[in-house]
């Protein structure tokens, strides 16, 4: 059953990739400009540069996104669960979250560059801050809307606060947390690209923009493919995590 | 000697800057090893009463004693909720063993006890299934197993069979009766179903509308008799109970 499902999913992904490549190919023929090379040229460049030029940039970008996702999760999930579970904490924090959540965090990039330097820290902090809110709000809402019946039944078994978090709040909110991580990943990749175009010579964002400014469009597309594949790989990882950790929602 | 004794229980809630009484001067008692059934209109505070007995609500006035201990001190109670209270992310095995885990039983003891109770109730084959993969009756049996594995003395049940169809409901009533005869548990059950109250309740307590109090206590000799459902006395008791409840509306 699982094998059939996996084959079905692989087939869907393959179909999507083929459609995308055909569309790209047709567009490159229609536009007929060096700024949009054919898929064959771009992929040739990608495979040619993968180990030599792309890999070091890809590694640093992967590190920045991975660490940011991890920190945002470690901070956002417990805080979201706590706020969602405690009415007073919710009432206290709601206005603060309401005011700060809609502010685009990327506007703080210059401040972070000044305060935290041009190294990895300022970039990681900005990506973390952007996805932290998403995880916090999603987790809080999931904990807030948890059916009381689950809490009551476990409380009646004489569970303490920690056990309520462990057996009820965290597992109940896990599907929502993973959804927020998936959404956050897309945003993190966009912010990553932005932060890597300023004051750095490392990262796949820098590689793409540097190739663009030197009119090396095949290299630029090799970078875009690399960045796309990195996002796709992380997405698959989260998907697999959900399958393992939340098997009960797929019944 | 009463196992459960409630004297002048009073509970109020603060709502919209007003104090709203939920239970008022409620008294009842239940001997060890008997089944008591509470029946009354919706919103009369029946579930509030059970939450006090389960030790979940300590904001009350009056005396509540379970085996001469307060509900908070007494760890020999188990509560079964209307929607079973099974956690959807845990398998049958994990749901049943949860109480033991929380109460600090060793892993070995948890495995032995969980296996024993699942075998006893004929549920062992369902141990790897999640609640979503089970029927209503199976879920209710598992909720009962989760309570019984803790070897309670007092089982509190909040409309336990209300989500079941008529046949499953009767099956579960028979099942509960069998269990009670085997274990000598003291059971306090809330129901809206008059026939269920007469079939199971040795003592039937009729509650008033909110603020809830006991307005009628009935001793019922028909309780626990499997063949009672077809008897004329069963219909007569049911009708008498029905009249008492209609008088409330």
Kindly determine whether residue A156 and residue B78, on different chains, have CB atoms separated by under 8 Å: yes
Cβ(B169)–Cβ(B11) below 8 Å? no
Tokens 């030599």, residue? A52
B102-107 contacts: CB < 8 A, separation 24 or more?
B102/A154, B102/A157, B102/A158, B102/A159, B102/A163, B102/A167, B103/A157, B103/A158, B103/B75, B103/B150
DSSP helix, strand, coil percent of chain B (3-state; round to 5): 40, 25, 35
Q: Residue B14 pairs with which residues in a beta bridge?
A: B19
Q: Which residue is closest to B147 within chain A, CA to CA?
A: A157
pLDDT tens profile A135-192: 999 999 999 999 988 999 999 999 999 999 999 999 999 999 999 999 999 999 999 9
The residue-averaged pLDDT of A36-44 equals 92
Q: What is the pLDDT of residue B75?
A: 84
Kindly determine whether residue A154 and residue B102, on different chains, have CB atoms separated by under 8 Å: yes
The pLDDT of residue B16 is above 80 = no
Residues of B with CB under 8 A from a CB of A: 51, 54-56, 75, 77-79, 81-90, 98-99, 102-103, 130, 132-133, 146, 150
pLDDT tier for residue A1 given thresholds of 50, 70 and 90: low
Nearest to B176 by CA among B147, B203, B207: B147
Kindly determine whether residue A251 and residue B87, on different chains, have CB atoms separated by under 8 Å: no
Q: Measured on CA atoms in the order A116, A120, A121, A126, is the torsion positive or negative?
A: positive
The pTM score is 0.86
**Range picked from A93-97, A163-167, B56-60 for highest mean pLDDT:** A163-167
The pLDDT of residue A220 is above 90 = yes
DSSP helix, strand, coil percent of chain A (3-state; round to 5): 85, 0, 15
Sequence-distant (6+) residues with CB within 8 A of A210 are A201
Q: What is the pLDDT of residue A28?
A: 93
DSSP SS3 for B158 = strand
The C-alpha atoms of residue B50 and residue A153 are separated, in whole angstroms, by 12
Q: Which residue is closest to A249 within chain B, CA to CA?
A: B89
Give A47 to chain B, closest Cα distance, Å: 43
Nearest to B233 by CA among B206, B195, B203, B205: B195
The C-alpha atoms of residue A27 and residue B156 are separated, in whole angstroms, by 69
Cβ(A223)–Cβ(A208) below 8 Å? yes
**Backbone φ/ψ region at B16: left (φ over 0), alpha (ψ -120 to 50), beta:** left
Q: What stretches of chain B adopt beta strand conformation (E)?
A: 2-15, 18-31, 35-39, 61-66, 77-80, 154-158, 186-191, 203-207, 214-219
- Specify burial of residue A95 (Cβ count, 10 A radius: 0-12, 13-18, 19+): exposed
The C-alpha atoms of residue B242 and residue B193 are separated, in whole angstroms, by 10
The residue-averaged pLDDT of A218-223 equals 93
CA distances from B59 to A56, B21, B29, B211 (A): 63, 12, 20, 16
Q: What is the pLDDT of residue B172?
A: 87
Kindly determine whether residue A157 and residue B81, on different chains, have CB atoms separated by under 8 Å: no
Q: What is the pLDDT of residue B249?
A: 57
Out of A58-62, A197-201, A222-226, B66-70, pick the least confident: A197-201
On average, the pLDDT of chain A sits at 92
The C-alpha atoms of residue A101 and residue A129 are separated, in whole angstroms, by 10
The C-alpha atoms of residue B136 and residue B65 are separated, in whole angstroms, by 33
Q: Any idea where the domains of chain A sit in the sequence?
A: 59-250
Q: What is the pLDDT of residue B248?
A: 65
The C-alpha atoms of residue B159 and residue B156 are separated, in whole angstroms, by 10
pLDDT tens profile B223-246: 888 888 888 888 988 988 888 888
Give A161 to chain B, closest Cα distance, Å: 11
Q: What is the pLDDT of residue A65?
A: 95
Give A154 to chain B, closest Cα distance, Å: 8
The pLDDT of residue B67 is above 60 = yes
Residues of A with CB below 8 A from B133's CB? Answer: 251
Q: Which residue is closest to A170 within chain B, CA to CA?
A: B89
Nearest to B120 by CA among B90, B101, B88, B96: B96
Kindly determine whether residue A251 and residue B56, on different chains, have CB atoms separated by under 8 Å: no
Q: What percent of chain A has pLDDT over 90?
A: 74
Query: Which architecture, in CATH terms, is A59-250?
Result: Orthogonal Bundle (1.10)
Q: What is the pLDDT of residue A196?
A: 92
Sequence-distant (6+) residues with CB within 8 A of B71 are B52, B53, B54, B55, B58, B64, B77
The C-alpha atoms of residue A216 and residue A157 are separated, in whole angstroms, by 66
A2 vs B: CB within 8 A = no
Starting at the edge strand found earlier in the chain, the sheet holding B35-39 runs: B77-80, B154-158, B186-191, B35-39, B203-207, B214-219
Cβ(B128)–Cβ(B92) below 8 Å? yes
A170 vs B: CB within 8 A = no
The C-alpha atoms of residue B229 and residue B26 are separated, in whole angstroms, by 30
Q: Is the confidence metric ipTM above 0.90 for this complex?
A: no
The pLDDT of residue B45 is above 90 = no
Nearest to A84 by CA among A184, A172, A157, A185: A172
Cβ(B24)–Cβ(B61) below 8 Å? no
Q: For the stretch A38-61, what's the b/e string if a residue is b when 16 or more beta carbons lie within 10 angstroms of its beta carbon?
A: bbebbbebbeebeeebbeebbebb
Kindly determine whether residue B81 and residue A149, on different chains, have CB atoms separated by under 8 Å: yes
pLDDT tens profile B145-169: 999 999 999 999 998 888 888 888 8
Best mutation target among B102, B126, B149 (most A Cβ atoms within 10 Å) is: B102
Kindly determine whether residue B55 and residue A168, on different chains, have CB atoms separated by under 8 Å: no
On average, the pLDDT of chain B sits at 90
Residues of A with CB below 8 A from B81's CB? Answer: 149, 152-153
The C-alpha atoms of residue B185 and residue B66 are separated, in whole angstroms, by 13
DSSP SS3 for B28 = strand
CA distances from B201 to A133, A234, B36, B77 (A): 54, 59, 5, 19
């Amino acid at each position: 059953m699982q094998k059939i499902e996996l084959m079905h999913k692989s087939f869907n992904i393959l179909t999507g990739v083929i459609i995308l490549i055909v569309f790209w190919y047709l567009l490159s023929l229609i536009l007929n400009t060096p700024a949009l090379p054919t898929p064959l040229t771009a992929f040739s460049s990608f495979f040619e540069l993968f180990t030599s030029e792309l890999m070091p940039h890809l590694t640093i970008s992967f590190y920045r996104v991975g660490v940011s996702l991890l920190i945002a999760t470690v901070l956002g999930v417990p805080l979201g669960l706590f706020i969602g579970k405690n009415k007073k904490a919710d009432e206290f924090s709601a206005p603060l979250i309401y005011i700060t959540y809609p502010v685009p965090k990327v506007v703080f990039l210059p401040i972070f560059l000044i305060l935290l330097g041009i190294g990895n820290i300022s970039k990681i902090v900005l990506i973390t801050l952007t996805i932290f809110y998403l995880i916090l709000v999603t987790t809080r809402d999931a904990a807030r809307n948890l059916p009381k019946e689950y809490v009551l039944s476990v409380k009646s078994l004489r569970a303490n606060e920690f056990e309520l978090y462990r057996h009820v709040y965290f597992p109940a909110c896990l599907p929502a947390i993973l959804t927020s991580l998936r959404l956050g990943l897309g945003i993190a990749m966009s912010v990553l690209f932005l932060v890597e175009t300023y004051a750095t010579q490392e990262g796949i964002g820098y590689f793409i923009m540097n190739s663009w400014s030197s009119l090396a469009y095949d290299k630029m597309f090799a970078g875009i493919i690399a960045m796309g594949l990195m996002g796709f790989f992380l997405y698959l990882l989260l998907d697999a995590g959900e399958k393992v950790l939340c098997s009960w929602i797929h019944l | 000697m009463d196992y459960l004794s409630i004297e002048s229980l009073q509970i109020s809630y603060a709502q919209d800057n007003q104090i709203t009484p939920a239970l008022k001067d409620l008294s009842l008692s239940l001997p060890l090893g008997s089944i008591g059934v509470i029946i009354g209109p919706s919103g009369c505070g029946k579930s509030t009463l059970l939450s006090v007995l389960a030790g979940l609500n300590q904001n009350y006035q009056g005396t509540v004693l379970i085996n001469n201990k307060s509900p908070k001190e007494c760890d020999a109670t188990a509560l079964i909720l209307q929607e079973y209270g099974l956690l959807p992310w845990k398998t049958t095995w994990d749901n049943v063993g949860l109480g033991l885990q929380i109460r600090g039983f060793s892993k070995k003891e948890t495995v032995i006890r969980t296996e024993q109770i699942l075998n006893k109730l004929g549920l062992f084959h369902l141990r790897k299934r999640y609640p979503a993969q089970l029927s209503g009756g199976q879920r209710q049996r598992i909720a009962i197993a989760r309570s019984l594995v803790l070897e309670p003395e007092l089982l509190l049940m909040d409309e336990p069979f209300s989500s079941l169809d008529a046949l499953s409901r009767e099956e579960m009533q028979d099942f509960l009766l069998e269990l009670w005869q085997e274990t000598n548990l003291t059971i306090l059950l809330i129901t809206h179903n008059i026939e269920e109250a007469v079939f199971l309740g040795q003592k039937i307590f009729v509650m008033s509308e909110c603020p809830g109090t006991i307005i009628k206590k009935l001793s019922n000799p028909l309780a626990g008799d499997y063949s009672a459902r077809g008897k004329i006395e069963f219909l007569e008791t049911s009708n008498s109970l029905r009249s008492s409840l209609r008088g409330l509306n």
